[in-house]
A and B are shown apart, each in its own frame.
Chain A
Amino acid sequence: SQQGEEDPQALSIQEGENATMNCSYKTSINNLQWYRQNSGRGLVHLILIRSNEREKHSGRLRVTLDTSKKSSSLLITASRAADTASYFCATDAGSNYKLTFGKGTLLTVNP
């Protein structure tokens, strides 16, 4: 079934470093989204990239999409302790509005 899978499962870095997370999916998509979840809370939308886009920026976030490899990456530059959270990618597929999420990457930014 259509699903995004994030890699790595967990990532620990020092404040100021960059963090890169990857997402792979199985079938063609309309768009791909990244969300953030602080421990035990609801998810917050970060960025959406459409299938005809290759790169998108929002503040310290940079998202790339490679539809030929069915993969996306999320880069967080100059990380802060407050960036500590789980990050999920979500994909849809064709006319199916079922947005499916991966298992997430747990990012820990150490001060």
Chain B
Amino acid sequence: GAGVSQSPSNKVTEKGKDVELRCDPISGHTALYWYRQSLGQGLEFLIYFQGNSAPDKSGLPSDRFSAERTGGSVSTLTIQRTQQEDSAVYLCASGAFSGVNTGELFFGEGSRLTVL
């Protein structure tokens, strides 16, 4: 597709269940970010991938959160043993930059997670 694709667009789960959120970045983009946005709030950085380099995981809030990026393309964010405070919109973004400076990010429409 032409843009960043995220799935599912909505996910309702019970507390304690695991969830997987998927992001398909724009083809050829080496940079990929995950952010979390709670209702009416700003974006909270979670993790950053750049090509084959080790990801920057400094924003992951707990060890229940993990992410991987296979083949430098598709990324999956996994939340284990979900808690109600995990409820938020999870946004994925990709970019074509790989040098010293960051550049324009292209965002997906997000995955809205609700933990009951």
Contacts and interface: CB of A to CB of B under 8 A. Distances in A.
A101 B56 contact: no
Interface in B18-69: 31, 33, 35, 41-43, 45, 48, 50, 56, 58-59
Contact of B45 (A35, A40, A99): A99
Given A97-B56, A98-B56, A103 B102 contact: no
A41 interface: yes
Main secondary structure of the interface of A (DSSP, over half): strand
B91 A97 contact: no
Interface residues of B, number: 27
24 contacts: A30-B102, A31-B102, A33-B105, A35-B105, A40-B89, A42-B93, A42-B107, A42-B108, A42-B109, A43-B105, A44-B107, A45-B104, A45-B106, A88-B42, A96-B56, A97-B48, A97-B50, A97-B56, A97-B102, A99-B102, A101-B45, A102-B42, A103-B42, A104-B42
